[in-house]
Structure 1
């Protein structure tokens, strides 16, 4: 899987021109496997207008789009591939975050893995996380994941999904549910009929969550 070089920066779609971003809260979007930075960007209009939204492209090619790391069923998958991608995103964050009043993460499917991995590395850096139809990776003792710090901070997390989601394995959902309840302040909502997707009701709930938990 082709990845960014250490000197490269990711491709990002922004909701505001650069001169209008300072002093605003930042919300960063992470798309799912095989998609790109444009996939979620249309949802920005359904979020509170206070945010500057940045939708970031994953580093590896995957079919017609991109991926944060190989699928678990791929022989090239490793936890290191997850933390490597997160490390590159973290380096990009460190260059832009000082212009913003807070940073919130929103990830769909594999993008939720990336958002929660970043949270688990430096939980104090983020105001909240929104996870849609995704899951949390099993850390397997990897020291990139500071779950003790997450449990101490109890960050705000919104997790929306459909119990009939045909994509996310049941074991991953069960691990995520157990991990969430032990480590974060969880707002969990189930949506019938969205399967592995997002609907207007869910986005309305996400907007309310952000308004109350981040902008209050």
Structure 2
């Protein structure tokens, strides 16, 4: 399958960096490309791209914006995830298998965008929101050479228990999550941090107090600074 989505050219000069924004369930690339507009001043030589997930959510009203999914969430229940960690592991394992099916399409998009701007794999940063964070972590930790950074908002790590056997790179990671998130509980971020640390991939985190399932101004600012810092690291 082939995917595409909106793009933003660098604010100044040719592209020397690429930031790919991976949207969440029920949205599309148009929903997340605005992050690029917010970060252009701190990343003036970065190109931004926000691919649309390949599948529409069944029954989504025609003509409405968004409605796309990287994979189905039929078994997902945030209340169950809060109550039963064992069941959480089983649901995340199912979602990981689904993510593996769509990952090649996103990988192809990443490689094509790097080629478009004549950039190296290390010039890439992945940013995800919610289900997009799941995809960004799944792909970014398995790319070799590693991306410059992975920034995840309000998401989770799929298949964390077996990560140490699959991980191929350890890029800088920042996870940002609201402690009032009603869709992806804050516990998902802590579980991701534990699994990443166990796999030898330390990650930073920030908890946005009182924030639900979204991105606030502080998280946006921290994310932009993290990307700029990560791109500046010697590789």
Task: Tell me whether 1:35 sits opposite 2:38 in the alignment.
Answer: no
- Structure 2 segments unaligned to the other structure (5+ residues): 61-65, 77-90
Question: Contact 2:129–2:155 (CA<8 Å) still a contact in 1?
Answer: yes
Partner of 1:80: 97
Question: Contact 1:122–1:146 (CA<8 Å) still a contact in 2?
Answer: no
Question: What is the root-mean-square deviation of aligned Cα atoms in Å?
Answer: 2.5
Matches of 1:164 and 1:210, distance apart in 2:
25
Secondary structure of 1:210's counterpart equals: helix
Matches of 2:220 and 2:187, distance apart in 1:
26
Matches of 1:73 and 1:90, distance apart in 2:
26
Task: Tell me whether 1:192 sits opposite 2:192 in the alignment.
Answer: no
Secondary structure of 1:57's counterpart equals: coil
Q: Please state how far the C-alpha of 1:170 moved relative to its aligned partner.
A: 5.7
TM, length-normalised to structure 2: 0.76
Task: Tell me whether 1:128 sits opposite 2:145 in the alignment.
Answer: no
- Greater than 6 Å deviation, 4+ residue runs: none
Question: Contact 2:140–2:147 (CA<8 Å) still a contact in 1?
Answer: yes
Q: Identify the match of residue 166 of structure 1 among 178, 182, 185.
A: 182
Q: Deviations over 1:37-72 (max 9, x none)?
A: 111111112212221000111111123510111116
Instruction: Report which of the two has the higher share of helix.
Output: 2
Question: Contact 2:180–2:186 (CA<8 Å) still a contact in 1?
Answer: no
- Structure 1 segments unaligned to the other structure (5+ residues): none
Q: Please state how far the C-alpha of 1:26 moved relative to its aligned partner.
A: 0.3
Question: Contact 1:25–1:50 (CA<8 Å) still a contact in 2?
Answer: yes
TM, length-normalised to structure 1: 0.82
Partner of 2:81: none
Secondary structure of 1:53's counterpart equals: strand
Structure 1 segment 1-216 matched on structure 2, within 5 A: 5=1, 9-16=2-9, 23-47=15-39, 48-62=43-57, 63=60, 64-71=66-73, 73=75, 78-98=95-115, 99-101=118-120, 102-138=123-159, 141=162, 146-147=166-167, 149-150=168-169, 154-169=170-185, 172-182=188-198, 183-216=200-233
Question: Contact 1:155–1:185 (CA<8 Å) still a contact in 2?
Answer: no
Matches of 1:72 and 1:135, distance apart in 2:
16
Matches of 1:43 and 1:91, distance apart in 2:
22
Matches of 1:70 and 1:180, distance apart in 2:
25
How many residues align? The count is 200
Matches of 2:73 and 2:189, distance apart in 1:
16
Q: Please state how far the C-alpha of 1:36 moved relative to its aligned partner.
A: 0.7
